[in-house]
Structure 1
Amino acid sequence: MRFSHFDLNLLRVLDMLLTERSVTRAAENLHVTQQAMSGSLRRLRDYFDDPLLVRIGREMELTPLAQGLVTPVREALLTVEGALNYRPHFDPRRTARTFRIAISDYGSFVIMPPLLRLLAREAPQIALDVRVLMGHSFLALEQGDVDFVTTAHPTDLYGPYRPGDLIRRERLFSDDFVCIADRNHPDIRGGLTPDLYRTLRHTAVNFGPNVETIVERAWKAHHFRPDIGSTALGFATMLFMLPGTVLVATAQRKLAEVLAPPLNLAIHEAPMAIGTLEEHLFWHERSTDDPAHSFLRGAFREVALALHR
């Protein structure tokens, strides 16, 4: 196989076929006809002397060779993309660029507003495509589908998913935990004591199987099994569910300071040691020297410094 004989236009086609495992879906995503995609697949099969995609039952599966091509093909495309996006003289006020960020609802309320205000002042043409933080967000980061992940560290809070060796990390800031309840909660007017905390009904966050929050870990460490009256998909969502109820939530202080006043909620010091959240920024090594990427990392850093103060 000679590189000089390979049509580089087929590289993007190959990446899409390896990702979608379907000629039809690959054709739709690349806005070409199914006939054209089938022709490209034939050329790829001839070049690699391998079927690449084989039908097993009603599904198409990758051959062993195709499975081995998934990562290097994606890396090759991302390297080309990085080369095309590279600008030796970066002007934040003139650069139009979209960055994809996987972030929790906590980060959406605590980090995103000051970050967007900073960008509006210093880089008005930079846009942020915000994605929901999920267990596979690190895989998306490695494959180039997102540019940044911001989440709590250690990452084992998110189940079996772990950053790969080429993922870089920077600590942004820390946050502690407080208790939040309706301002007119009938049982907490005299303060929240450890005994009262154990008798109240709680609301908790449920991120899904094999994902344990810092709060849940603290409860286990204190041998406390709370009476859960409701669960929520995220910490911010949990606080929005509190007004007018007798539930108590345990959440991050910075998030509580943002949401408690408009929701008429009261913040109480946690009567149980919960621990500390360490918020980190993650990116792939391939983006480290990208001037625009470096600028946005600096913007995150500036926002984090203000939050720390």
Structure 2
Amino acid sequence: MQNKDLNLLKLLVILNEERQTILAAKRMNLSQPTISIMLKKLRDQFDDPLFIRDKNNLTPTIKCENILTNLPALLTQLDKLYSDNTQWDISQLSGDLNLLISPPLIPTLGTQLIKKLTSLAPELTVQCSHWARDTPQHLENNPHQYFGITYLPMETNKTLLEQEIGSDEFAFVISNDHPLQYASIEDMLLYPLAICLIPGGITGPSKAEQLIRNLKIKKKINLRTSDISLMTNLLKETDYVGIMPRSLEESMQPYFRFLPIPHEIVPKNYQRKIALFCHQKNRHQPLTEWLINETKDILNSI
């Protein structure tokens, strides 16, 4: 039986991520001919081409994709035998940390998370932007210190880690002096309606709008926006009724009232999940684990 070289398996993962031998060589600090020799050994060991050249990129074979299903996790477990994450110190973080957060979560989760990060890591610069439709592709192309937080469901591929960190529910929102007292369907029909959009989510109508349409309620949606400032200003100056995340309630007091959406529109106890996204390369990094735990704690406290 041919000897199996487990050290070559790391190359398999890196080639799948980089899709070019020259990039894999640079990342492993080896020459390109050395990478080619290592790949030939892998092909011999698995009796499969593993990667097929497609123009300038390498495309994994079906057998290679099957191998890669569990391989990164196995290598991470092996690496943990030689590493000690307890030595990681968040105060030593520096450079830029990019957070791409869904707009409705920025005033609450975003504020608390950035406050904690800049307090614990004074040499770190946090760059916070809105989660947009192209954010998943941005996270795929920028694996280092780029993290996204938004509502589910969200269409991504296996390149990104998706870790659920909490949930949120939506409610009707009106100004404190609004004449509406109870959020019945009949009362809602009397006022213009604004819906808080979640950028990059399911294409087409928002979840609330879909439910309204499913009930065949003849109610025109007067505004769709992901801009929380626009919605709050509109609610303050008019008799608009908004649909916004319940997590915003504390930050909007005492100027606004939150009323539960009737169960005929939104099922009782319905909540929308929230997840943290990053490149799979960061799956077991200490910073990723810290962000997951911290965001969970913040959402639980809101």
Q: Same fold (TM over 0.5)?
A: yes
Specify the code of the residue in structure 1 equivalent to 2:146.
D
The 8 Å contact of residues 177 and 250 in structure 1, kept in 2 or not, is answered as yes
Deviation per CA, 1:216-252, whole angstroms, max 9, x where unpaired? Answer: 2221232224233333233553233211201101111
The 8 Å contact of residues 102 and 151 in structure 2, kept in 1 or not, is answered as no
Deviation per CA, 1:104-126, whole angstroms, max 9, x where unpaired? Answer: 11111121111123224433333
Specify the code of the residue in structure 2 equivalent to 1:144.
N
Residue in 1 that maps onto 2:72: none
The 8 Å contact of residues 93 and 121 in structure 2, kept in 1 or not, is answered as yes
Q: 1:229 to 1:115 in 2, by over 3 A?
A: same
Pairs within 5 Å for 1:1-309: 65-66=55-56, 68=57, 89-144=87-142, 147-155=146-154, 162-186=155-179, 188=180, 190-205=181-196, 210-235=203-228, 237-261=230-254, 264-272=255-263, 273-274=265-266, 275-307=270-302
Q: What is the CA-CA distance between 1:202 and the residue it aligns to?
A: 0.8
Write the distance in 1 (CA, Å) between the matches of 2:290 and 2:224. 38
The 8 Å contact of residues 150 and 275 in structure 2, kept in 1 or not, is answered as yes
Write the distance in 2 (CA, Å) between the matches of 1:141 and 1:90. 24
Write the distance in 1 (CA, Å) between the matches of 2:281 and 2:230. 34
The 8 Å contact of residues 170 and 244 in structure 2, kept in 1 or not, is answered as yes
Specify the code of the residue in structure 1 equivalent to 2:164.
R
The 8 Å contact of residues 101 and 110 in structure 2, kept in 1 or not, is answered as no
Specify the code of the residue in structure 2 equivalent to 1:300.
T
Greater shift, 131-140 or 218-227, is seen at 218-227
The 8 Å contact of residues 236 and 255 in structure 1, kept in 2 or not, is answered as no
Write the distance in 2 (CA, Å) between the matches of 1:70 and 1:255. 45
Specify the code of the residue in structure 2 equivalent to 1:126.
L
Q: What is the CA-CA distance between 1:180 and the residue it aligns to?
A: 1.0
Specify the code of the residue in structure 1 equivalent to 2:156.
P
Q: What is the CA-CA distance between 1:253 and the residue it aligns to?
A: 0.9
Could you list the runs of 5+ residues in structure 2 that have no partner in the other structure?
1-20, 28-53, 61-82
Deviation per CA, 1:236-281, whole angstroms, max 9, x where unpaired? Answer: 53233211201101111111332243xx222222224324221111
Residue identity over aligned pairs, in percent, reads 16
Write the distance in 2 (CA, Å) between the matches of 1:137 and 1:169. 13
How many residues end up aligned between the 2 structures? 230
Q: What is the CA-CA distance between 1:197 and the residue it aligns to?
A: 1.3
Write the distance in 2 (CA, Å) between the matches of 1:7 and 1:214. 45
The 8 Å contact of residues 140 and 160 in structure 2, kept in 1 or not, is answered as yes
TM-score by length of 1: 0.63
The 8 Å contact of residues 214 and 277 in structure 1, kept in 2 or not, is answered as no
Specify the code of the residue in structure 2 equivalent to 1:304.
L
Specify the code of the residue in structure 2 equivalent to 1:280.
A
Q: CA RMSD in A?
A: 3.5
Q: What is the CA-CA distance between 1:175 and the residue it aligns to?
A: 1.4
Q: 1:225 to 1:205 in 2, by over 3 A?
A: farther
